[in-house]
Structure 1
């Protein structure tokens, strides 16, 4: 009897201990849940709309990357620049052109530059080395942003795959790669923290401060979503020759200042906010719309994104702010002796101080006074 009573007491004490332990566990869990609910959690990084966002890898963890304001006439603290530099590993000529582009930009810039490199991984490694060498010469501030371009190319392909056939010479041609169409849908794949960017080719030479180019965003009208210079050769006079023959007196393909000349995309001012918001512009990134326009104008391009912008301009000039030719002075004269001698200079003429030379068509850029 006595041992039975002891066992009952022990059972009671064990039960009490277990109850106390369970209570403490529940109390602790409640406290930590309460604490967690009070700790501010970081907001997710905006990832853009449409087909999604590109993975971004930052060098030196820039603090205010991509915050360049989209408001007119506000102070500019940094410049966002996107450069296409791809398939460069075995192309020393392209490497030298890229070096000239960034060296001359660093020579003149008075503001920090965030540089987004569009290219394969090998090209990005080369770009990193060239940039470090260039900045050491001029001691300017920059931040390199490496993009996951495999991911980017896949996302772009979904947007433009059915339109590419109208703007590429043939599958596998130089301008057939989806990266050469990035500017068309850049607002759908880049972070919404990016508001305005300068996108440019890797065969340029700056002769002025890139800040002055960026300031041209303030000249945009309410309907302009991008700034782009006219093509300096009668390229689209030729491409649109069938339409021109059937429509005498048309402005389509005519030279500046009154013609719808067509564009060159070597230097672009892209207002990503306005591109995102423009119902008109986004409605035109549509395979059926493009098909209808190419049929109407008997248009078969071969120069990638600039063909698309030229095609849109035939009916929607108001989407584009025309950059002065001095900010994209194209030097190629291939079309001069291809049956257009009598009108060539009407397209090629560009008066005023040249701010950016563009060695398109693998054309040599002259040595400038500051290089001698």
Structure 2
């Protein structure tokens, strides 16, 4: 679902209708131009359905797995499709209809993003949401309100969680038994590994995307986070911050016992504490091109590493990235802790009070708060 918003409504209805049709055409044949099946969210069809531009303020387009909603253009700024640069952001937005707490977290995240967000006039922020149908309807209503104050151009795109799960399952099925909470491989668990294989699902013209948890609060312009892509090293494919609790000290306990001099699970700056997936910069093009990264997705490789490290996790993509990061740290650009200031302190009260602060401390300027494990985020 795509929402365009450069500030206000066109007063001229005829101009509005013409502009709306132009944007719809360019969106269909430009941004979401349908190529091979591997380049699109749809697994079964290239069908595109375009509704009539009428007196309504919206135009819906179905993309067989994703959908867009466009609102009217602002009267002082009209959207120029040519020459624009898209910045892509993705969030999971499932089961919101049955969990009011998720809706509250999302409102905090989106309102703070809008408050601090600033982009150039030629730039568009594309907001991608993976959603089930009931949550999608809630999202439409919430975003119509929260995005009203945005000073930048944006699009909102909803992707169907079922369609994505169908694509993900064959890729990540083998790794789920090592990194899922349940005992065994569950089809529905696949969505928790979306970031691992996103480079094989997103259209190839999307080369970079940032994936975020819902329980965040921005304290700075989100555009600055996109600039961190420029700091990636030659072999980096993913930007991600360290885990700020001794989660992986605990998870790798057997490996650590057998390898007394290892840095696996040790705190920073010299240790390897594992990663937190609340904020991730995914260089999709680099992920596609990296022979090493794609080899690490192979079932035999996952199994061999899981056996080597005696690894059994429950945090999905975060566990996978943490495990392969122990073996191939060169694939990861480590984000400063200020970009993912995790607030959860659960492990402090569960056996690690004596060393907890070595993981938890962050002396950097805080740019994003992460209220993981339902921790309260500080008020402004």
Quickly name the TM-score band, shorter chain normalised: 0.7 to 0.9
**The one of 40, 46, 49 aligned to 2:35:** 46
Residue in structure 2 matched with residue 180 of structure 1 by the alignment: 192
- Does the aligned pair in 2 maintain the 1:262–1:310 contact within 8 Å? yes
Residue in structure 1 matched with residue 59 of structure 2 by the alignment: none
Q: Please list, as runs of the form range in 1=range in 2, the aligned pairs for 1:44-123 lying within 5 A after superposition.
A: 45-47=34-36, 49=38, 55-60=65-70, 77-111=85-119, 112-123=124-135
Distance 1:48 1:63, change over 3 A: farther
Structure exhibiting the larger radius of gyration computed from Cα positions? 1
User: Deviation of residue 80 (structure 1)?
Assistant: 0.8
Q: Please list, as runs of the form range in 1=range in 2, the aligned pairs for 1:265-284 lying within 5 A after superposition.
A: 265-284=277-296
Distance 1:172 1:286, change over 3 A: closer
Q: Please list, as runs of the form range in 1=range in 2, the aligned pairs for 1:183-262 lying within 5 A after superposition.
A: 183-262=195-274
Q: In structure 1, how many angstroms separate the alpha carbons of the residues matched to 2:339 and 2:193?
A: 21
User: Deviation of residue 348 (structure 1)?
Assistant: 0.3
User: Deviation of residue 178 (structure 1)?
Assistant: 1.5
User: Deviation of residue 139 (structure 1)?
Assistant: 4.6
User: Deviation of residue 79 (structure 1)?
Assistant: 2.0
More moved, 112-121 vs 262-271: 112-121
User: Deviation of residue 175 (structure 1)?
Assistant: 11
- Does the aligned pair in 1 maintain the 2:96–2:103 contact within 8 Å? yes
Residue in structure 1 matched with residue 20 of structure 2 by the alignment: none
- Does the aligned pair in 1 maintain the 2:41–2:66 contact within 8 Å? no
Q: In structure 2, how many angstroms separate the alpha carbons of the residues matched to 1:47 and 1:258?
A: 45
Say if 2:145 is the partner of 1:133: yes
User: Deviation of residue 256 (structure 1)?
Assistant: 0.5
Q: Secondary structure at the match of 1:177?
A: helix
User: Deviation of residue 63 (structure 1)?
Assistant: 7.3
Q: Secondary structure at the match of 2:182?
A: coil
**CA offsets, 1:191-249, max 9 Å, x none?**
11111011001110000001110000000011000100000000000000110011011
Q: Please list, as runs of the form range in 1=range in 2, the aligned pairs for 1:319-334 lying within 5 A after superposition.
A: 319-334=331-346
Q: Secondary structure at the match of 2:223?
A: helix
**The one of 297, 303, 306 aligned to 1:294:** 306
Structure with higher helix content: 1
User: Deviation of residue 150 (structure 1)?
Assistant: 1.2
Residue in structure 2 matched with residue 30 of structure 1 by the alignment: none
User: Deviation of residue 53 (structure 1)?
Assistant: 5.1
RMSD of Structure 2 on Structure 1 (CA): 2.4
Number of aligned residue pairs: give it: 318
More moved, 121-130 vs 219-228: 121-130
Q: How does the TM-score come out when normalised to structure 1? A: 0.80
**The one of 138, 141, 154 aligned to 2:166:** 154
Question: Gaps (5+ residues) in structure 2?
Answer: 1-28, 44-64, 72-78
Q: How does the TM-score come out when normalised to structure 2? A: 0.79
